[in-house]
Structure 1
Amino acid sequence: MSENAARSMVKMFQTMSQVIEAEKDHLSELDGAIGDGDHGITMSIGFRAINAELSKLDLDRASLSDVMSTAASGFLNAVGASTGPLYATGFQRAAKALAGCTSWDLSACTEMIEAIAAGIRERGKGQRGDKTMLDAWLPAADAARNALSENKTASAYWHDVLTSAENGADATRSMIATKGRAARVRERSLGHIDPGAASAVLFIRVLAGANGEASRPHDH
């Protein structure tokens, strides 16, 4: 069972890399408005590095925890700046949360989403409303926990999680950045979606798709 779970998680990271490649220019454009304009490139390098590391794993023996731990070190080694340590901490936290999980069910997905959100929040010392990726990750984590506790179907669960992430990212348009590079432009960051929140939505959408939910196309 764990082989299948680990393999599907590896496949999810491969898909994420493809999605990031397709959205790379758009993410960098968003970043260009409020930051250094390199978010798409950074994410592309990070996820390519993750997949290079994951290709060395023996997937017949690897656990979900092994996959997340490998993703953490792969991302950090490739992306030293800002986003690198944030996602690396989130993935490392997820590796701990998934220790002993042999199936990648909704319960494991909830643990993973909550752990990534908590790791990013602690490492970045941020909160909702700072106009960062947390504006997508934290609502997604809350929605996942609520949907799980209400025993929602997989389809309803992912709808709630994805909608919460998308709404959170959309809300960053009306925020003034207080964290990260965008904080340097303050009021000029108004009217722009945070690129980190936008890429977080992509990640969560891929996650939904990897777990059997063909997530609906959603364009802004």
Structure 2
Amino acid sequence: MKKYLEILNKIADEINRNQEELTDLDREIGDGDHGVNIDRGFSEIKKILPTFENLSTSEVFSKIGMTLLTKVGGASGAIYGTAFMNAGIYLKGKENITDEIIVETLKSMIDGIQKRGKAIQGEKTILDTIIPVYEFLNGAINSGKTLEEIKNDVLAIARNAMESTKDIIATKGRAAYLGERSKGHIDPGAMSSYIMIKVICENI
């Protein structure tokens, strides 16, 4: 659990460092508040991390989800909050966290996002970063590789997937109103999810 809490702390710091860039990206195609909102949520998580020490993994994910739902404004709070809460449900009773369970946790987060946001891959959303990472992880782990062996590949896939959102025309959220004009900009949610994946890969 200590390692998980260290990673959460580092994610909060990295989100804070990138708050301005995330907000600038959102200013181009959204409400201009993604960086501020997501930073507010993870700053709160950073503050309450000591209270997580004696919780189960499931409870930690559920608490993160509830914090993001209540502290983060806009669609990103609902999307990220639902993702973490869905993971909390999946992880109930699972304390020996294997690589296979990590992959299935990511799948449960994707399921939560799709259910809440009614989105699919290719619509210029957070899913355009997360789904390619899940697909690669699922194949690699099932073929016998370990997360430690493939972490650099995961990071490269996440970065390429995030950057590819620049070429997508948004069909979901406020960015969808821009139509063709949404092209040429990285989706801020795709970037914030990349930041989280990056911190995790760097600390495996």
TM above 0.5: yes
Q: Note the aligned Cα RMSD (angstroms).
A: 1.5
1:28 aligns with 2:23: yes
TM-score normalised to the size of structure 1? 0.87
- In the alignment, which residue of structure 1 is the partner of 2:142? 149
| Residue 75 to residue 109, structure 1, CA distance change in 2 (3 Å) | same
- In the alignment, which residue of structure 1 is the partner of 2:40? 45
- In the alignment, which residue of structure 2 is the partner of 1:203? 196
Give the number of equivalent residue pairs: 204
- In the alignment, which residue of structure 2 is the partner of 1:115? 108
**Does the CA-based 8 Å contact 1:53-1:71 persist in structure 2?**
no
Consecutive aligned runs of 4 or more in structure 1 exceeding 3 Å deviation: none
- In the alignment, which residue of structure 1 is the partner of 2:8? 13
- Which one has the bigger helix percentage? 2
- Give 1:67 deviation, angstroms: 0.8
| Residue 53 to residue 74, structure 1, CA distance change in 2 (3 Å) | farther
Gaps of 5+ in 2: none
| Percent identity of equivalent pairs | 35
- In the alignment, which residue of structure 1 is the partner of 2:80? 87
1:166 aligns with 2:159: yes
- Give 1:157 deviation, angstroms: 2.8
Q: Which amino acid aligns with 2:137?
A: A
Q: Which amino acid aligns with 2:186?
A: I
- Give 1:125 deviation, angstroms: 0.6
- Give 1:154 deviation, angstroms: 2.6
| In structure 2, C-alpha distance between the alignment counterparts of 1:108 and 1:51, rounded to whole Å | 25
| In structure 2, C-alpha distance between the alignment counterparts of 1:75 and 1:100, rounded to whole Å | 23
Deviations 1:138-174 (A, max 9, x none): 1111111111101113333323332322222111111
Gaps of 5+ in 1: 1-5, 213-220
